[in-house]
């Protein structure tokens, strides 16, 4: 089992557990530099990130805001800025958490784009939905919401000469728990390789409220299952996924679920197939 876990962890470039607080601080500094280098090398001036209210976007936002602040101080260029974007589908059930995340990050700019009208207009024009079961239609539109959010972020990035930040990390990557060309699309992914408890640890390092750090993760894409926990979709807990990725022992059933899901979602982690 451990050989399989090690192989998958290597493929996902999983970050080893932080042995102490100094190692965590060093990793934060490394990822902040990574963000800065990506932006400077691009010749652009802004970073754009959708803030959902979950710990992933909170942590990515905190890293981005620190990166921008340090870039301005170091370069003397006031045009470097981080733009946090709220992308609700009409009224988000946990909007208070999303607003609390934005407030704690305290970004240089705040934008809001309600994707509801665009998603509904597209759904109205899709003849393929005719006769489909409500659950199937709801699932497909959930992915459409994720893609529409990314369209909005890239539109803002284009208007502000910026790059789009993604929130994918190893615990989601191994489960393929992202929408292809939706939240899986971005210019840079500063949380890549981290497991869930490391994402939470970085948020705590920034002093984020525990209510946001330990909030139950949810993609919240399906109207028929609002706020459905990620773990309910996975069939395993994030603690088990983290343990798997760090080569620790897990239940046989959890091992099988993670390995099977990893294989089935391979297509989401690679470039488009070509002859």
- Alpha-carbon Rg for the chain in angstroms: 19
Q: What angle do CA 27, 58, 85 make, to 5 degrees?
A: 125
Tokens of 156: 């803002």
**Do residues 239 and 214 make contact, with C-beta atoms less than 8 angstroms apart?**
no
Q: What is the DSSP string of 168-206?
A: --HHHHTTT-S-TTTTT--SB-TTTT--HHHHHHHHHHT
Q: How many CA atoms lie within 13 A of 80 on its CB side?
A: 22
27, 56, 168, 187: the active-site residue: 56
Q: How far apart are the two ends of the chain, measured CA to CA in Å?
A: 34
CA distances, 110 to each of 83, 84, 89, 156, 195 (Å): 6, 5, 17, 11, 28
- Is 95 an active-site residue? no
27, 97, 168, 172: the active-site residue: 172
- Is 168 an active-site residue? no
**Do residues 202 and 24 make contact, with C-beta atoms less than 8 angstroms apart?**
yes
Please name every residue paired with 164 in a beta bridge, in sequence order, or none if there are none. 48
- Residues designated as active site: 56, 172
């Amino acid at each position: 089992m451990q050989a399989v876990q090690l192989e998958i962890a290597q493929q996902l470039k999983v970050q080893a557990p932080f042995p102490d607080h100094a190692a965590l601080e060093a990793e934060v500094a490394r990822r902040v530099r990574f963000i800065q280098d990506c932006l400077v090398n691009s010749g652009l001036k802004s970073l754009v990130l959708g803030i959902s209210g979950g710990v992933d976007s909170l942590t990515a936002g905190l890293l981005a805001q620190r990166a921008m602040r340090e870039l301005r101080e170091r370069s003397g260029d006031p045009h470097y800025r981080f733009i946090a974007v709220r992308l609700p589908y009409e009224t988000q059930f946990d909007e208070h958490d999303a607003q609390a995340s934005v407030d704690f990050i305290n970004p240089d700019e705040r934008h809001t784009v309600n994707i509801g009208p665009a998603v509904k207009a597209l759904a109205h024009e899709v003849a393929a939905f005719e006769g489909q079961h409500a659950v199937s239609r709801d699932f497909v539109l959930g992915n459409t919401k994720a893609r529409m959010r990314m369209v909005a972020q890239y539109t803002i990035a284009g208007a502000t000469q910026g790059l789009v930040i993604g929130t994918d990390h190893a615990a989601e990557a191994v489960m393929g728990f992202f929408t292809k060309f939706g939240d899986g699309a971005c210019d840079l992914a500063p949380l890549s390789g981290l497991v869930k408890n490391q994402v939470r640890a970085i948020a705590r390092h920034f002093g984020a409220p525990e209510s946001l750090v330990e909030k139950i993760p949810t993609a919240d894409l399906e109207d028929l299952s609002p706020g459905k926990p990620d773990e309910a979709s996975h069939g395993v807990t994030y603690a088990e996924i983290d343990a798997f990725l760090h080569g620790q022992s897990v239940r046989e059933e959890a091992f099988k679920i993670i390995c099977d899901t990893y294989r089935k979602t391979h297509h989401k982690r690679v470039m488009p197939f070509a002859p």
